[in-house]
Amino acid sequence: MPAKSMRILILLPAWSWMVASAAQQPSWERIGELRVNRTHATWTSPESLARDLRSDDKAVRLKALRLVGTDTNNEELLADAVPEIELRYASLGEDRTKQAIVMVEASSYAYAAIAVPSANAWVRIAVFECWCKYENTLLDDFVRVEYTHRGSQDLLLRASGGGTGLYEQTEARFALKGGELRKVSS
């Protein structure tokens, strides 16, 4: 067998493994202390998701946490805790269509999942995460909807973090454009 063919045969399995590993990596992006995942997921309704997050059955809570989009590294920790859940609706786009904001807080982690209505369901378009271990009222400080000078509403997120004497805060604004949340500023 020629040397070139032999190199291809050796490199092919390694390359395949790298591609498969890359596909399994979570698609979180970091904006300071705030993490964002824009992977879509379909919900039957925000109300049923909130109900499942409050369930006494750990398996039901775990499935709901996955639909929210929590980081898989934190799922068991969050499923064992009694989460604080909040459901809000707001018009984040240029029209009056309301989007759902499902917020979950447990074990110093806060998540906010944003979903838009579709034909027969809701589609989560983004989830935000903060390990806000220094904050007392996570959900109140983490997510706000504010009117802008453009006459629309922005999603305002505040995240904090740090350690060993360091403290950092990140504030980021997002607006709904073309069915996706776009960062306006941070």
Cβ 40 vs Cβ 124: under 8 Å: yes
Q: What's the pLDDT score for residue 75?
A: 82
Q: What's the pLDDT score for residue 142?
A: 83
Cβ 160 vs Cβ 172: under 8 Å: no
Q: Which residues of the chain have pLDDT under 50?
A: 6, 8-25
Q: What's the pLDDT score for residue 20?
A: 38
Amino acid present at 160: S
34: β partners: 31
